[in-house]
A and B are shown apart, each in its own frame.
Chain A
Amino acid sequence: MAKVLFINPIVREEDVPRHVPYGIALIAAITIKKGHQVQIYDHNAWRQPPEVVREVLEADDWDVVALGGITTTYGSIKSLVTQIRAVRPKTTIVLGGGVLTSLPREMMTWLPAVDIGVVGEAFQTFPDILEMFDSGQKDFVKIPGTISRRMDGGLVMGPPRTLLRDLDSLPYPAWELFPLEEVYFHNSEHLFSVEGMLAKRRLDINMSYGCSLICRFCYHLGIAGDLRYAKNDAGEDDVEFDKPGSYSRDIRYHSPEYVVKLVKYAHGRFGVDFIGFLDENLMTMDVYSGRTWLKEICRLWKEYGLQPSHLRDGTALTEHWSGVHWSGTSHATLCTLEILREMRSAGCAALVYGYESFSPQVMKRLGKGATPTTNIRSFFWSLEAGVRPIPNMIIGFPSDDFDSIRASLDAWKELGIIVRPHFATPYPGSEWFHVYRKSIEAQYKGDLEKFILDLGDATKITGVISHNFNAVELLGLRELMLKFDYARIDEYEALWRAHHRIPEGAPSTLYQDPVPLKLAS
């Protein structure tokens, strides 16, 4: 059986490590279940210098070193694979996750040390790679969901990998192989709620995969049915994701029993007092299940004794409670007051809402299925239910203009929202990456890899997709928004209009839809 070293690359270097990588923890558990020898070096948690990484690479005779992560881990992955190849010239290097899946050909080109890429979901692909490795063969192209190298150095993709149907067949994540006590539990604090602030032993869980909505800035890592195979401009096999008028989705979720038993296990084995649900959108799953899924999870949460004691007893929250609080993601249009109340009663402390904007025209163009009205409705429903709404906001959408900025400011003021908005960022795999790729490349002087290295969590500006504002303008406007400085925004609008020669009475925008947009009155 293969001897496998998993390495978790660094993500968000500016922050402390907060999240055990759920995907790697699951793949490690699957690999162990298949009988392989597994070690994990969590580079994001330990953040050790190259000398220690070298010691790790020399600590055993690894057959395979496997890495993966989201796109923003690319910088760390690039440096790691270079070092792995230098220290272990004959070890097979496998790369997976969203970073590889969004741009498989580019990644394999930029990272010549990588032998095999896992395109899309790795639950079945990675064990298949190890099985082939054990058999002494190297014909990886036969394995669905791979990209590998031919003898002549060219890249070759295996057939598409179908998604795992029975998610409950997955083993529990191998959390015990990560530095929970040494690192992660020290960073349990989750500043979305008082309960989150008080968390001392937090872990995260993904109880569903995918989202039925088509937000044009969103990327679903190739595990939401969003990944398709197609020929690229050079006639080679390649991947494609959402593009205008072409969307595909596959909704999958664990059973409520699996979810709650997993939480019970985490609570019992690791003393977990808070769970962060990583799901893209809990409400889309709930709707898909006919409004039974979340209700049943909440019921079982109580039945398994996980309901926080203060909610069970109807007393005030103090620093001492038993049970498990949790948080997750909601959707402005798809949530209901009834389910929010159920969730609160079971221990839900906060829900992240991607409100994004309070401008009708911007929201209509997002593909989110929400409006300023449903944003506001969900905000008050959440407060009424006792769940703290976390309003995520973004500026710099393609059609954002002075009016949309003022619409968001008005809503922040009215609702008491204090927020530092993200910048609309065209992550690879999203529809807007597809649409604006040439413009993004031009902003990085034709070097797409530079853009990938520049990407962060959208709190800083990278590739600009706004038709009206450049990077400098967006940075300035965000600062003025933070101060609710309407006067200076108005003043700049006059300058902007003069600069762009927009006549009196015409709207302050350069944006034009390919097809005119119909807005509801």
Chain B
Amino acid sequence: MSGVLKGNYKAKKDVKAETKADDLESRFERQAMKRLGGSIAFVAKRKVNWDKKKD
């Protein structure tokens, strides 16, 4: 976790966030996107409603 605010003084509150480098899902999607085509296809999980029930 890192502070996302950087400045020349201390803000009243710190705001922390995970760096994207830790996000394996994003890393996978980025790498897969580079080779999209042919037999390379993938599901972008964030664009899918995984909780949707079957009709």
Contacts and interface: CB of A to CB of B under 8 A. Distances in A.
Interface of A: 14, 16, 32, 37-42, 46-48, 52, 55-56, 58-61, 176-179, 182-183, 186
6 contacts: A37-B8, A40-B6, A41-B4, A42-B4, A56-B15, A177-B8
A14 B33 contact: yes
Given A16-B20, A183-B19, A186-B21, A59 B6 contact: no
Interface string B8-33: 11011111010111000000001001
Contact of B2 (A47, A182, A186): A182
A182 B7 contact: no
B27 to A, nearest CB: 9
Contacts of A58: 13
Interface of B: 2, 4-9, 11-15, 17, 19-21, 30, 33
A47 B20 contact: yes
Most A CB contacts (10 A, CB to CB) among B5, B9, B13, B14 go to: B5
A56 B3 CA distance: 10
A14 B33 CA distance: 9
Most B CB contacts (10 A, CB to CB) among A47, A58, A59, A183 go to: A59
A38 B8 CA distance: 6
B7 A40 contact: yes
Contacts of B11: 39, 59-60
B20 A177 contact: no
Contacts of A60: 11-13
B17 to A, nearest CB: 5
Given A183-B19, A183-B21, A177 B12 contact: no
B6 A176 contact: yes
A43 to B, nearest CB: 9
Contact of A59 (B15, B20, B30): B15
Given A41-B15, A61-B12, 19 more contacts: A37-B9, A38-B9, A40-B5, A40-B6, A41-B4, A41-B5, A42-B4, A46-B17, A46-B20, A47-B20, A55-B13, A56-B5, A56-B15, A59-B13, A60-B12, A176-B6, A178-B6, A182-B19, A183-B19
A179 B19 CA distance: 10
A46 B4 contact: yes
B29 to A, nearest CB: 10
A39 B33 contact: no
A183 B20 contact: yes
A37 B6 CA distance: 11
Contacts of B15: 41, 52, 55-56, 59
B30 A16 contact: yes
Contact of B4 (A14, A32, A52): A52
B21 A179 contact: no
